Amino acid sequence: MLKYILKRIGIMVPTIIVISMISFAIIQLPPGDYLTSYVAGLRQMGDNVDEDEIAALRERYGLGQPIYVQYYKWVSGIILRGDWGQSMEWRKPVKDLIWERMALTVALSLVAVLVSWFVAIPVGVFSATHQYTIPDYLFSAVSFIGAGLPGFLIALVVMWVAMRQFGLNVGGLFSQEYMVAPWSWPKVVDLLKHLWIPVIVIALGSTAGSIRTTRANVLDELNKPYVETARAKGLRERKLVWKYPVRVAMNPFFSTVGWTLANLISGQTLVAYVLSLQTTGPMMLRALMSQDMYLAGSFLLLLSTLTVIGTLISDILLAWFDPRIRMEG
Amino acid sequence: MDNNDLLVEVKNLQTYFYLDEGTVRAVDGADFNIRRGEILGVVGESGCGKSVTARSIIRIVAKPGRIVGGQILYHRRQNGNGQGEVIDLTQLSAQGDVMRNIRGAEISMVFQEPMTSLSPVHTIGNQIIEAITLHQRVDPQEARAKAIEMLDFVGMPLPDRTIEQYSYELSGGMRQRAMIAMALSCHPSLLIADEPTTALDVTTEAQILTLMRRLQRELGMAIMYITHNLGVVAQMTENVVVMYMGKVVEQADVDTIFHNSLHPYTQALLHSIPHMGTKSIERRRLASIKGMVPDPYALPRGCAFHPRCSDMRPGICDEIEPQMIEVAPGHRVRCDRAAGLA
């Protein structure tokens, strides 16, 4: 098992290096850079542009240099000094910008994922063991609707209902007074008060899909001979369902941990916009649009690193739960 | 037959499957007895109701199948005083305590596919120990010791190592041994073996058959051995039940079945076995039973076998359903003509 994990980690490192190169190159692909679009924006508004200031900025961000020099400066900064570069648009170091948002995003999405699994797995198993009964049809209908509705629409509806029926202002993750306040106990309480709506909205979409997946997987396993063997032992039906077919049917969940982790950061951008959440999704989208390359590059690097780490976690979980995979490793 | 010897009486058992396309009468009036300590062979083509009969006895018929009629009388021997009780298994709740205490402990089952009949993600030991702790009051260490003992008993090499292994690490024959160890771990009075060697190669099959005979002798249990292989029947069993389309068409001891069978279907089955060294009939084509197994949704009127029977009498066989007739003690046949009545 240990050898298996070490081997996987060994493959991870070069993967991340290559991904970081590719993502950096892709960010550079569009013509121009942040400063050209910045200057163009200023000119459009009729502002005077100080050529000297632009040149100084270009020098400071190293934009005139060849791409591999820029890449080297950026990566060595991250590795040696933990410096992720400057965000040009925000005029702040990237690391000051992303970590708080990152923490909020991870907290929010993690809670949403756990809520969604907590609901989806029992419901999916129930649907499978009661196939073609009225509750099964009911759950199926609800989950199809949930899977079909886009998250931002649900977010809008929930906000509208909360506003009209309960007089709540539910946008954002904090109330006005805590928005920029330093972390304190009341701020945490305030966060928890705001958290439930985004959690419900985000969890709803993935719950629907997970119910379908669980139901289909459990149905596949329910008629396998080993289930009949367990039944022939005299095991209680509920116990044997959870011990045997559900256990095997959980494999797809473990294998999706890989992209679930990355989804924590990039996913739900639209919902975050609608609910004006201070999460990473909207910030990353804006950075990409304005060619704020160090900020966007840092996001991409984090995303791919998380995907790779997520894949490693999936692999370990799968190997732990399914001995057949351990053998092949 | 001494009533004390009776273990299971299957009386007019009817198990139907209610599908969208219609009702399949998988078992339609099966009658036979299993005596204590005997090996009973149940033979018939695929789809004749052998497996469904077995699953009906331990009440694990899968939906949409249902027992709709008949009785399965289980003669339970109480401990100590020898005073037994008779339970009609069809009247029990399939998930109820009584049935679950019988299933797997007093009547257990070994399945056809050793490759897939064990969980891929649990160790052999985990699954055997589960069966033991389910029915016996033992602590985990005792259960483990018993499991190792059972594995050793069924001839598993290195049982204390195998107990930690997963099913995919074992060969087909070894998996089937593990299945048998699991089924026998609570010393059942009846072991139902549903084609346990069909998926195995011939050498392994011979080993498993020898093993089952030995276990049956040593434990004194009865075995209901389901197979379509008449060679295995000759080798293993004492009494034979021949089934066709959900009904028992002939029942007799194994010698009678092979040398003095009466039902045209039994005879046709016997003719379809290749014989070695039959010089008189050189290069004889292997006989097959003409026609096809009838459509299960539309069973023929009268005797279900009449469309394929060489002795079919128009107006009788395709009109009147024959009854079971006892032609000699222990020899019963469901054919008027074969019984000499017509």
Q: In chain A, where are the structural domains located?
A: 31-83, 102-328
Please provide the average confidence, as pLDDT, over all residues in chain A: 83
pLDDT band at B1, cuts 50/70/90? very low
Q: Residue B44 — φ and ψ, nearest 5°?
A: 160, 165
CB under 8 A, 24+ apart: contacts of A96-100: A97/A283, A97/A295, A98/A280, A98/A283, A98/A295, A98/A298, A98/A299, A98/A302, A100/A278
Nearest-CA distance from A260 to chain B in Å? 24
pLDDT band at A135, cuts 50/70/90? very high
Nearest-CA distance from B115 to chain A in Å? 9
- For range B75-80, the mean pLDDT: 73
CA dihedral A138, A144, A150, A153 (to 10 degrees): -20
Please provide the average confidence, as pLDDT, over all residues in chain B: 88
Q: Identify the CATH class of B3-235.
A: alpha beta
pLDDT at B280: 52
Q: Identify the CATH class of A102-328.
A: mainly alpha
Nearest-CA distance from A227 to chain B in Å? 8
pLDDT at B278: 57
Half-sphere exposure of A285 toward its Cβ, with a 13 Å CA cutoff?
13
Closest CA to B325 of B317, B334, B313: B334
A132–chain B Cβ distance below 8 A for any pair: no
Return the structure tokens found at B42.
């149940």
pLDDT band at B180, cuts 50/70/90? very high
A229–chain B Cβ distance below 8 A for any pair: yes
pLDDT band at A67, cuts 50/70/90? confident
Q: Buried b / exposed e across B181-209, counting CB within 10 Å, b at 16+?
A: bbbbbbebbbbbbbbbbebbeeebbebbb
pLDDT at B43: 93
Residue A180 has pLDDT above 50, yes or no: yes
pLDDT at A84: 81
Least confident of B65-69, B122-126, B276-280: B276-280
Percent of chain B with pLDDT strictly greater than 90 = 53
pLDDT at A87: 82
Nearest-CA distance from B315 to chain A in Å? 44
Residue A11's alpha-carbon distances to A6, A14, A197, A244, A303, in angstroms, are 9, 6, 39, 33, 17
Residue B301 has pLDDT above 80, yes or no: yes
pLDDT at B80: 54
Least confident of A80-89, A305-314, B32-41: A80-89
pLDDT band at B27, cuts 50/70/90? very high
Residue B212's alpha-carbon distances to A240, B111, B130, B150, B232, in angstroms, are 28, 14, 22, 13, 12
Name which residue leads in pLDDT, B339 or B254: B254
CB B58 within 8 Å of CB B192? yes
Q: Chain A 288-327, CB below 8 Å of chain B: which residues?
A: 321-324, 327
CB A261 within 8 Å of CB A307? yes
Least confident of A18-27, A282-291, B292-301: B292-301
pLDDT at A179: 72
pLDDT at A329: 46
pTM of structure: 0.82
pLDDT at B81: 58
The β-bridge relationship of strands B39-43 and B239-244 is parallel
Name which residue leads in pLDDT, A72 or B170: B170
A273–chain B Cβ distance below 8 A for any pair: no
Distance in angstroms (rounded) separating the CA atoms of residues B138 and B160: 19
pLDDT band at A63, cuts 50/70/90? confident
Put simply, the answer to whether A232 touches B134 (Cβ < 8 Å) is: no
Most confident option among A8-12, B2-6, B30-34: B30-34
pLDDT at B16: 93
Residue B291 has pLDDT above 80, yes or no: no
User: Which residues from chain A sit within 8 angstroms of residue B131, using beta carbons?
Assistant: 233
Q: How many helices (H) and strands (E) in chain B?
A: 10, 12
Distance in angstroms (rounded) separating the CA atoms of residues B37 and B7: 9
Residue A244 has pLDDT above 60, yes or no: yes
- For range B266-278, the mean pLDDT: 78
pLDDT at A183: 78
pLDDT at B127: 94
Put simply, the answer to whether A234 touches B135 (Cβ < 8 Å) is: yes
pLDDT at B10: 94
Lookup result for tokens 């892709």: A26
Distance in angstroms (rounded) separating the CA atoms of residues B94 and B72: 13
The beta-carbon neighbor of B101 closest among A225, A234, A243 is A234
Name which residue leads in pLDDT, A75 or B333: B333
pLDDT at B79: 58
Residue B279 has pLDDT above 60, yes or no: no
Least confident of A24-33, A185-194, B107-116: A24-33
pLDDT at B266: 92
The interface predicted TM-score of the complex, written ipTM, equals 0.87
**Residue A66 CB contacts under 8 Å (≥ 6 apart), including other chains:** none
Distance in angstroms (rounded) separating the CA atoms of residues B69 and B249: 19
A220–chain B Cβ distance below 8 A for any pair: no
pLDDT digits (tens, 9 = 90+) for A39-57: 777 777 777 777 777 787 7
- Residue A179 is classified by DSSP as S
Least confident of A95-104, A157-166, A250-259, B98-107: A250-259
Distance in angstroms (rounded) separating the CA atoms of residues A87 and A294: 6
